[in-house]
Amino acid sequence: MTIISTFPFATASVQRFQQIVGEPVLCVTDPDAFLAQLHDAEILCSYWVPDNWRQLAPKLRWLQATGAGIDNLQHTGILAPDSGVLVTTAVGIHAASIGEYVFGSMLMFNRSWPEMVRLQDRHIWPRSASWYRLQGRELAGQTLGVIGLGHIGRRVAQLGRAFGMNVVGTRRSAQPGDKDPDVDLLYPASDLLAMLAHCDYIVIAVPLTSATERMIGEAELRAMKRNAYLVNVARGQVIDEPKLIQALQEGWIAGAGLDVVAEEPLSAESPLFSLPNVIITPHIAGENIHYEKRLADLFAENLARYTAGQPLQNVYDPNRGY
């Protein structure tokens, strides 16, 4: 059994894996070396695979993806039902860090923190908040809408309640009348427009699938309150980006916190960079000091299950698209 990882696990983690399977586990971060060793690989832990993986890795049986979203693998064919490869994701290991990121973005917007940092850089001490339109919004008592109640969305909902917010949400499988313990009101996906109209803050936490691509377009943006703040920690393609830019420029909504954009890296010419009501980060909401340990825990658990012939955690479902 040959096991290869492109993720640079710590030595202690690699030793742990080897104790579970009784075989060497190779961490190969050089792309050329990785491709050269794929021929005998049965198990692969990686964020990506080459398009010609069938030729390079004919013995591959299981791919443990190192990220939660694996839409980047769609074009390779490895996610197809007949690929012959079991694919598992790292969904769940980002929930804590992304949940905190979401509220960091909302709090920064509420207190005009980006503008205050710019004022500090210029050595300016405003005599009053009104001089530079510095905001003093609060989260308490406001309505938070969570689009997608998976691991991340659920954590966001829980934190919203801790801040004293009214929390509503949508879930793909929700039916009219269904309830959820982490939200005050659960909306079916078909009632998204109705939910958006009530929200002061909206967080997008859905996987990118054919059903969610551009799910936030002009109709959805116009349905939002003019004081609404939108946070996207899903994928940039979930939003119609030109319409979002128009909404931000024309005041359909108050602002947006974007950790993802439609095309990454974001072009230096994008108006998103200069809009004063936008907070942009380079797809790093899930990064944290515990990432290696959490991924190692998941991979170790799945290795134990694989060797024992038991069902694995976080198995990709081609029918759902995640």
196 within domain boundaries: yes
Same domain, 249 and 157: yes
pLDDT for residue 131: 86
pLDDT digits (tens, 9 = 90+) for 85-126: 999 999 999 999 999 999 999 999 999 999 999 999 999 999
Three-point CA angle 222, 228, 231, nearest 5°: 100
Same domain, 103 and 88: no
Same domain, 147 and 86: no
Token output for 32: 């050329």
The reply to whether the predicted model has a pTM over 0.85 is yes
The count of structural domains within the chain is 2
Same domain, 120 and 219: yes
pLDDT for residue 207: 96
Which residue is catalytic, options 94, 171, 235, 241? 235
Same domain, 266 and 157: yes
Phi-psi region of 64 (alpha: psi -120 to 50; beta: other; left: phi over 0): beta
Indicate which CATH number applies to the domain containing 87: 3.40.50.720
313 within domain boundaries: no
Token output for 35: 């491709």
pLDDT for residue 293: 98
Alpha-carbon span 7 to 12, nearest angstrom: 14
322 within domain boundaries: no
151 within domain boundaries: yes
Which residue is catalytic, options 264, 287, 290, 320? 264
Tell me the residue ranges of DSSP E strands in 22-165.
Answer: 25-27, 41-46, 62-65, 86-88, 143-147
Indicate if 283 belongs to the active site. yes
- The count of C-alpha atoms lying within 13 angstroms of the C-alpha of 268, restricted to the half-sphere facing its C-beta, is 0
Same domain, 119 and 67: no
Token output for 46: 């990686």
DSSP structure string for 74-97: GGGTTTSTTSS-EEE--TTTTHHH
Which residue is catalytic, options 283, 292, 294, 301? 283
Domain coverage including residue 13 = 2-92+289-308
Alpha-carbon span 77 to 44, nearest angstrom: 16
Same domain, 127 and 214: yes
Same domain, 120 and 265: yes
Indicate if 42 belongs to the active site. no
**CA distances for 40 relative to 100, 110, 217, angstroms:** 41, 53, 46
Same domain, 257 and 294: no
The stretches in the chain having pLDDT less than 50 are none
Same domain, 9 and 153: no
